[in-house]
Chain A
Amino acid sequence: MPHRHYMTALRLDESEIQTRRSYFELGDDDLARLRTLHGLAEKHTDEFIERFYEHLLRSASTRKFFPDDATIVRVKRAQRQYFLQLFEGRCDREYVQQRVAVGVAHEHVGLAPTWYLGAYRKYLALLQVRLFDDLPAAEAQAAFLSVQKIVFFDMTLALDTYIAAHQETLARHQAALRELSTPVIRVHDGVLLLPLVGAIDSARAQQVMDTVLLRVAEEKAKCIIVDIAGVPVVDTKVADSLVKTTASVRLLGAHTILTGISAQVARTIVHLGVDVSTMHTRARLQEGIELALDLVGKRIAPVRAKRSSGE
């Protein structure tokens, strides 16, 4: 239940709902007034929905959200219901949950808040005219103010949820990117290779260590070559994390071979006070692969020439 998650994340409990209501001055009298308007609203909402969708479907940029007739029927019904709920005159957790669900749904399909706010504005404009047509001016004025309060109450809920959902989407993308940036390749039975490219911050360093350990355990690897030739800056933090990766891989019963070690990196690692006698390191990847194969009892040898037919 995604909306349940956001109810928690946005801390939309009873007291928060009260706080928001009092901020928008949405009192019980407003809710009662909204209830009396339900019949009237129903009539005008139907009219509005028809006109509004004509308008949406005319423009190419909005038409793409409605691939087929079934979708149109469904969203029309949902939107009609959404507007009419304003006139049920309740403002409890269930109501709030419905509003939150809309924010989540819009973020999910990539419908920017502009469309939501635009539709609301249009609806309010129509409603205002109709209220003043149907009711004495003073009553219409009071009714409109009540509608306005609950609409603003609604909009902040949908927007807060939209923003929270969007932040989560961004964080998920970042996590996916981090995963892509740790490509562990199997080069031989029991031998893995991780070519690291690009800058390493502490989040990525942590991700590298965790991924290396998971893959070593999964593949039952004997050794993993970590090539850092493509890492522009290896500061003490990065070096420390590489040393920790090596130490933890050893606890699983495997070896780490660090390759692409420049003079500067060698200096940094020694200055960290690390016992380098326990580490396998090589300047170049090729030497690292040779060492790895040696550790698993294999060797790269030249193919014997089979040129002459007499052999």
Chain B
Amino acid sequence: MTIHGVIPILRMGDILLTTVHIELHDAVAEGFQADVLTAIEQRRARGLIVDISGLDVVDSYVARILAETGRMALLMGTQTVLVGMRPEVAATLVRMGYRMEGVYAALDLDEGLALLRRLGRR
């Protein structure tokens, strides 16, 4: 079962903004991934910002969903920036040996937008 629409996706110009504020479990995570990709396709977004400051646990399953979504978006021409990862979450992912490939990271929303602007100019 896949649950859609639980995590809202906002549009700011050619950038999509989404805040993951609930525990991502399978059904929600897969729905989230599908919703994001559909939005990119429909809106021709240049950038995607995923705010994960509300997540206090990111296990390898959630990390994979996030990184995979980023890589899929990239194939469609959209850069993904994860913003607001908590210090203890970053430490845990790295200690586990996980590498977040295919996504950028920024401290907060402003920095994320600035980063996308810089990437767009390249």
CB distance from A110 to the nearest CB of B (A): 36
CB distance from B80 to the nearest CB of A (A): 13
* Interface of chain B residues 36 through 90 with chain A (CB within 8 A): 81-83, 85-90
User: Does A210 reach chain B (CB closer than 8 Å)?
Assistant: yes
Most chain-B CB neighbours within 10 Å: which of A210, A213, A247, A253? A253
User: Does B100 reach chain A (CB closer than 8 Å)?
Assistant: yes
A-B contact count (CB 8 A): 52
Question: Are A250 and B86 interface neighbours, CB within 8 A?
Answer: no
Residues of chain A with a CB closer than 8 A to B81's CB:
253
Given A247-B94, A248-B94, decide whether A210 and B99 contact each other with a Cβ distance below 8 A: no
User: Does A121 reach chain B (CB closer than 8 Å)?
Assistant: no
Question: Are B87 and A252 interface neighbours, CB within 8 A?
Answer: yes
Question: Are A214 and B87 interface neighbours, CB within 8 A?
Answer: yes
Q: Is the interface of A mostly helix, strand, loop or mixed?
A: helix
CB distance from B70 to the nearest CB of A (A): 13
User: Does B25 reach chain A (CB closer than 8 Å)?
Assistant: no
* Interface of chain A residues 201 through 248 with chain B (CB within 8 A): 209-210, 213-214, 216-217, 220, 244, 247-248
With both beta carbons as reference points, the residue of chain B lying nearest to A246 in the complex is identified as B94
* Interface of chain A residues 169 through 226 with chain B (CB within 8 A): 209-210, 213-214, 216-217, 220
Whole-angstrom CA separation of A244 from B105 in the bound complex: 16
Question: Are B106 and A253 interface neighbours, CB within 8 A?
Answer: yes
Residues of chain B with a CB closer than 8 A to A249's CB:
90
User: Does B35 reach chain A (CB closer than 8 Å)?
Assistant: no
Most chain-B CB neighbours within 10 Å: which of A209, A248, A254? A248
Question: Are B87 and A213 interface neighbours, CB within 8 A?
Answer: yes
Residues of chain B with a CB closer than 8 A to A250's CB:
105
User: Does A263 reach chain B (CB closer than 8 Å)?
Assistant: no
Could you jot down 11 A-B contacts, CB within 8 Å? A217-B86, A217-B87, A217-B107, A248-B94, A250-B105, A251-B90, A251-B93, A251-B100, A251-B105, A252-B90, A254-B107
